[in-house]
Copies of this chain bind each other. A is one copy, B any other.
Amino acid sequence: MDKASLIGLVLGIGAVLGGQALEGGSLHSIMQFTAAFIVFGGTFGAVFLSFPLENVIGGFKDLKTVIKEPPQDPSKIIQQITQYANKARKEGILSLEKETKTVDDPFLSKALTMAVDGVEPHLIREAMETELAYLDEHGKISAKVFLAAGGYAPTIGILGAVLGLIHVMENLNDPSKLGAGIAVAFVATVYGVGSANLLFLPMATKLQVRHRHQMIVKEMILEGIVAVSTGENPRLIEEKLNSFLPEIQKLKQGKKK
């Protein structure tokens, strides 16, 4: 569970709703179906026109990682690769063939298979770096979807506001409708600016952070397997891989570099 995401969602939306209550306004006055229809319909219309269907669906699926951190534990993977290095040293790299089948991570599995197949280290690196580059490009798309939504929403909110103001202006000779009408128009701005800054853009940023974490783990795996395939000293491999963990992570493990 990503505590920061939960705190962020509750704090952000709570601040706006709570502020509204503190001012003595009713929730009712910022619940406006028409405004929501324009802003969210327009925003997602723009998002669907911007990206292929699979990317939009993939983006929404990835949203669960904003709340629930994926379980991958880099220090466990370091331990695993160090074990491979030890086994390869003692029993030869072919002894790792069994491991290639039990490994969960497809990237680790593919790299390990190449190493067991006796592919030369620099060719493993080359092939896995190409794979890495495309995984990186592909993995960034979900964040881009919400970045785009965060870009469209405020302007569509302004569009909704202007539409509301046009309506107000046409009824200007009926002053009693003036204030309420403008209020309605402003709700579209609240939806556009609020959804972008309290939801879409922060979620896009967290998706980027998550994706980068996954890429660092993959870069670490790549360095590790290349080192295993060159028969490097297991202790040196462990040390090298540890430098991939950011310092804060190291502190958690009670080690001091």
Contact = CB atoms under 8 A, between A and B. Distances in A.
A159 interface: yes
A45 B10 contact: yes
A155 B138 CA distance: 30
A146 B243 CA distance: 26
A166 B138 contact: no
A247 B163 contact: no
Contact of A162 (B38, B189, B206): B189
Contact of A42 (B12, B47, B176, B179): B12
Contacts of A247: 135, 138
A85 interface: no
Given A33-B22, A50-B206, A193-B155, A41 B11 contact: yes
B49 A8 contact: yes
Contacts of A86: none
Nearest to A11: B45
A34 B22 contact: yes
Nearest to A212: B137
Contacts of A58: 248
Contact of A246 (B40, B134, B160, B189): B134
Most buried by B among A14, A41, A154: A41
Interface stretch (A76-84, A92-100, A195-203): A195-203
Contacts of A176: 173
Given A42-B15, A106-B257, A154-B155, A179 B169 contact: yes
Interface string A96-131: 000000000010001000000000000000010011
A33 B171 CA distance: 22
A172 B166 CA distance: 18
A234 interface: no
A215 to B, nearest CB: 11
Given A8-B46, A37-B18, A42-B197, A170 B183 contact: yes
Contact of A8 (B50, B171, B190, B206): B50
Contacts of A23: 34, 163-164, 167, 184
17 contacts: A5-B49, A11-B48, A15-B39, A15-B40, A15-B41, A25-B163, A29-B167, A47-B202, A130-B240, A131-B243, A134-B246, A138-B247, A156-B198, A162-B190, A165-B182, A166-B186, A169-B180
